[in-house]
Amino acid sequence: MEISTDIWVWIAAIFTLFIYSFLYKDNPLYKFAEHVMVGLSTGYYTAIVFHTVIVPDFWEPLVHSISKFTMSPAEFSSYAIANELTTLPTVLQDFSPVVAIIMLLIPALLGLMLFTRFIPKISWLSRFSLAFILGAGSGLAIPNSFQTRILEQLRGTIVEDQGSIVVPLFSIDAWRDFFSAPGIGTFFEAVSGPLLIIGTLCVLAYFFFSKEHKGVLGGAAKAGIWFLMIGFGASFGYTVMARVSLLIGRMQFLLTDWLGIID
């Protein structure tokens, strides 16, 4: 057993205990740790954004562009290559410095307009920035998300890829295998595909509100609730595991890195 002599390990351990003290009841030590964490996170985010976004994507390209204001696009491109201006976004090298400056100032202006949210009189200006963010985000996301979340998932409810071959989820072969060699393995193999199809249809029936849930639709919707509940149960089980993992992680830190009780 060797207790750590590293001051940072001690600080981390003490703050861990401060946070866990909340489990007993709310107290000033917990509040102190909470506020320190929020402050540190904000400082960290600001530093990272400044050094990885503001400086390389805006400030340095702007300084280079202003300093070579009178160059033509070809001269500017040659200058960027000759001086290994890797901080200059490649796209800007195809334009004259004047155009490059405009291309840098537009996003900077849109970014600054977001801060008008804090000034009620001109807060409407932030809507232009938000419209741009939403428009660009949707344009990027919709085609790819449609492919991956709808088309591929729809396909996955009908067929399954098994290496180079594609087999239907409702597989006659799987049932034939089950009847020729009955067992738990072959049973689950045969039943899992149809169960997935039925489960999907039943859950969809539950969320179909254009017709009253009566008769066949009502029965399917009720079965859909069961499928949903089983899904939620699995999620809850995983959530418990996740939360326990966090406790284990902290305990491993306290017992290993701090107190040195375990190797």
Partner 1 sequence: MLSLDRRWIFLVEVIIVIGALVGPFSTGIKVTPAVSSFYDAIERSDPTEPILLAVDFPPSGLPELEPMIVGILRHAFERGQPVILMTLQMEGVAISERIVNQVERETNAFYEETDEARRITMGEDWVNLGFRAGFAAVILGLGDEIRNVYNTDMYGNYLDELPLMQSIHNYDDMALMIDISWSSTPESWIAFAGAPFGINVLTGITAVSAPQYYVYLQTGQLGGMLGGLKGAAEYEVLINRSGVASKGMVAQFGVHVFIVILILIGNVAFFALKGKRREEHTPHLPDE
* Rounded least distance, CB 65 to partner 1, Å: 16
169 to 208: interface string for partner 1, x by CB under 8 A? ---------------------------x------------
Residue from 84, 120, 179, 214 in contact with partner 1 (CB under 8 A):
84
Segment interacting with partner 1, rule: CB under 8 A, options 99-107, 176-184, 209-217, 233-241 = 233-241
* Rounded least distance, CB 196 to partner 1, Å: 8
Which of positions 49-78 make contact with partner 1 (CB under 8 A)? 49, 52-53, 56-57
Q: Up-side HSE of residue 118: CA atoms within 13 Å toward CB?
A: 4
User: What b/e string do you get for 243-255 counting C-beta neighbours within 10 Å, with b at 16 or more?
Assistant: eeeeeeebeeebe
Nearer of residues 43 and 183 to partner 1, judged by Cβ: 43
Residue from 32, 44, 208, 226 in contact with partner 1 (CB under 8 A):
44
- The whole-angstrom separation of Cα 11 and Cα 32 is 13
DSSP state of 23: G
- The whole-angstrom separation of Cα 144 and Cα 219 is 35
- The whole-angstrom separation of Cα 258 and Cα 8 is 10
* Rounded least distance, CB 149 to partner 1, Å: 7
Residue from 6, 75, 94, 152 in contact with partner 1 (CB under 8 A):
152
Residue from 34, 160, 189, 257 in contact with partner 1 (CB under 8 A):
160
User: Exposed (0-12), middle (13-18) or buried (19+): which is 61, by Cβ within 10 Å?
Assistant: buried
- The whole-angstrom separation of Cα 21 and Cα 250 is 14
* Rounded least distance, CB 195 to partner 1, Å: 12
Phi-psi category of residue 195: left, alpha or beta, with phi > 0 → left and psi -120 to 50 → alpha: alpha
87 to 126: interface string for partner 1, x by CB under 8 A? x-xxx-----------------------------------
Please spell the DSSP secondary structure of 88-144, one letter per residue.
S-GGGGGS-HHHHHHHHHHHHHHHHHHGGGGSGGGGGGHHHHHHHHHHHHHHHHHHH
Which of positions 132-151 make contact with partner 1 (CB under 8 A)? 137, 140-141, 144-145, 147-149
Query: By the 8 A CB rule, do 169 and 194 touch?
Result: yes
Question: Is 212 among the residues that bind partner 1 (CB under 8 A)?
Answer: no
Residue from 122, 134, 238, 260 in contact with partner 1 (CB under 8 A):
238
Which residues form the interface with partner 1 (CB under 8 A)? Answer: 23-24, 44-45, 48-49, 52-53, 56-57, 84, 86-87, 89-91, 137, 140-141, 144-145, 147-149, 152-153, 155-156, 160-161, 196, 231, 234-235, 238-242, 244-252, 255, 261-262
